[in-house]
A and B are shown apart, each in its own frame.
Chain A
Amino acid sequence: MPKALKLDKSAEEGVRELLRFLLENGKVKGVFTLSKLNEKGAVAYSLIANPETLGNAVPLFPLMPTNAGKMLSLPTPKESATEPIAAVVRPCELRAFVELVKRSQGSMENLLLISPTCGGVYPLKMAPDGGIAEKQPQYWEAVAKGDIAPDIRPACKTCVHFVPYTADITVDLIGSKNTDKECRLLLNTEKARQFTDGFAGEISEAGAESAELSQLRSKREAEREKLFGETQIEGMKGLIDIFGRCIGCHGCSKVCPICYCTLCYFESTDSEYKVATYDAELKRKGGLRVPPGTMFYHLGRLIHIATSCVGCGLCSDVCPVDIPVSTIFQKVSQPAQELFGYLAGRDVEEPMPLRTFETEEFAYVEQ
């Protein structure tokens, strides 16, 4: 049973206090967390090395400007962090990072991972006009009750993996009635206990999962079924209907934490039509969409990432023509992962479905 650490501060203030403690006491060299950049609504992940800069940290701000898993993989693709770092990331970002680690694109070493039970985030489009700040009271009320906060992204409304799987420290938010004056941190690992050693706060047993937490799970589950039900894509025609408006910016791939390829196949020469291909296709069809390969790109990406997709929703968020990319990808990913008894990012030891085989599968092929 993990220990819980209680502070008489708001949840966000409490997390900031923990980060300050870690930095000031030299337990970590830097903290990786969301920070407010200015009054224009700009919030971005930052690596903070100086405790004085911590004032701008907004670790629980309900916005995902980039997937933190992707960000954490940036400095650690080949070698692990050389100094301890504390990172506050959302559960789906943590899962994305775990997938990247499995794909040798990051390392967990020297990272103290802190993650909240997540109430979801608002669409990126709401960031520029500062609309998110106004929604905060409503948001925290929903979090306390175990409700789905209105106006959060579809990916979040339908997410059932809002409790972090592999965090060292969980920030207990869902169902916590007093997040405005109380911060509850669950110390899940030995590492968490070591790092928080000496940090002021009242220690108790963590206790069982709250009713609100399981209640939210069923609500999100229902919402998920509803959304999947509404998103019916029948055959090639259905795919053309939904992806037909794609402008080919590939923003979905660029922001996807799983799409880590430096040069995507669909941006390579191999994917381009040569003169002869154009001639032949035009002759065959009489008409041809240019640039070609829109559907091929989406289906290709889907096949490449489905078993690792964590449903973070960023792909939908950056789509300039509002294609529900994330919903479609999740609708495919969920059964694809279930087929292998796999859940992306649940456990760093869990082997990736397409990277492993069971002996009987091998025998079957050999026959």
Chain B
Amino acid sequence: MAATQLGATFPAERGVEEGILDFIRQALSKDCFDAVLIPVKVPAGDSFAYLLIQDESLLKDAHPLAPIMPVQGAKAISSITRYGKGSRRIAAVMRPCEVRATIELLKLGQVDLENIFLVSFDCPGALPLDDWFKDQKKAEDTFQELLKQWDSQGVRPVCRTCDQSSATGAEDLHIGILEAKDNSILLIPRSPKGQSILEQLGLSLTEDISGWKDKVDRLTTERRQIRGQAQKELEANVGGLDNLLDTFSLCINCHNCMRACPICYCRQCLFDSDKLKFAFDDYLMRAEKQGALRFPPETLLFHIGRMMHMTLSCVSCGACEDACPMSIPVAQVFSLVADRNQEEFDYVSGRSREEPLPLRVYKGEEFEEVEYDYSGTSAREETGDA
């Protein structure tokens, strides 16, 4: 976490969510940015969607603290900036995992953040989409309780084990609501861009945030422990090929997980392409060899392939699991693999904008190693430089 120990308080007499919205209204009116990307209740009132808002009056239906995450925010930013930054400066208000996914997409060349202000907040977790659509009233109550207790009751499994739910590094501005006291929220600048917004609003950085920070640290430590324990238990159930086959046996190949994933940005996934359509004889040959061939084949290959492709950037946001119609614990499995893989490269997805993607860089000695093997012993002997 950056060294900033000071923040600004902002009034939130009508509750945390209204406080955040008031801050946005003020910032919009003071021209800190031109538009805001924020979750808004859909017209039917039964879900939330990201809305890019320029007309301030549309903020009346906005819910920065939406109980569910129907679309991963990074996907929304990518949709807006994939072809360039555009003329408007946009503040995007989203969960820390959405910010982290956005940073990964930045490294993958799928977003342009020049005109984007990333605003995150202490995230209480999101409820499973299933629970929300089963009983919306109950889910609303659960979420309100969650905002009071911060006890992970009823949130999705990946949220229960999330150890990066507050200010995880690469946002411009973070909103502290974990220790919301005296009817106010904390505005914590995390970059010069974020700082400039507060300056423009005439907010002075005088509030000592160490109390908030302590609480975040405590929660993080606690969650890290829970995460470790949960992953240990999960590994016992999914480790090894047989377990993995069993875990994904229910998969019906709808690829919802891939489509909901913010990191899976490929326009055409290899696993949806003609590359994986074979001639009849090939299928029959495989069926004969194994006795039977499951259709569609390559179900596990899809998951393992996707795992290889994206786990170094996986932010454990849980969108995949939310979208799975078969209740496969996709996010939990991917999260487990992601932690191990990222650890291997001393990398944390979305932590910093500068940290290079592991597979996009090499160190000098790695190159030498490759060169050595490539040249081969006999070749070196011949040229006498062995």
Contact = CB atoms under 8 A, between A and B. Distances in A.
A335 to B, nearest CB: 25
Contacts of B323: 247, 249, 251, 320
Given A128-B326, A262-B273, A267-B267, A289 B252 contact: no
A82 B84 CA distance: 51
* The 7 nearest A-B residue pairs measured at CB: A286-B55, A245-B47, A42-B249, A244-B42, A50-B291, A49-B287, A53-B291
A290 B86 CA distance: 15
B252 A66 contact: yes
Select the residue from B35, B246, B294 with max chain A CB neighbours within 10 A: B294
Contacts of B280: 75-76, 79-83
Contact of A282 (B44, B52, B267, B273): B52
Interface stretch (B75-83, B116-124, B220-228, B337-345): B75-83
A81 to B, nearest CB: 5
Interface string A71-89: 1001111011111010000
A174 to B, nearest CB: 26
A272 interface: yes
A32 interface: yes
B259 A275 contact: no
A249 B256 contact: yes
A319 B293 CA distance: 27
B128 to A, nearest CB: 10
A240 interface: yes
Contacts of A251: 254-256, 259, 323, 325
Interface of A: 29-30, 32, 35, 37-38, 40-42, 44-50, 52-53, 56, 65-66, 71, 74-77, 79-83, 85, 124-125, 127-128, 237, 240-242, 244-245, 247-251, 254-255, 262-263, 267-269, 272-275, 278-279, 282-283, 285-292, 294, 317-322
Given A77-B277, A124-B326, A320-B324, A71 B287 contact: no
Contacts of B37: 290
A74 B84 CA distance: 38
A175 B246 CA distance: 37
Contacts of A80: 280
B295 interface: yes
A287 B58 contact: yes
A263 B273 CA distance: 8
Nearest to A52: B291
Given A127-B250, A247-B260, 5 more contacts: A29-B288, A44-B299, A124-B252, A287-B52, A318-B256
Contacts of B31: none
Contacts of A127: 250, 326
Contacts of A249: 256, 259-260, 323
B259 A48 contact: no
A290 B52 contact: yes
A65 B325 CA distance: 11
Given A66-B296, A290-B37, A269 B52 contact: no
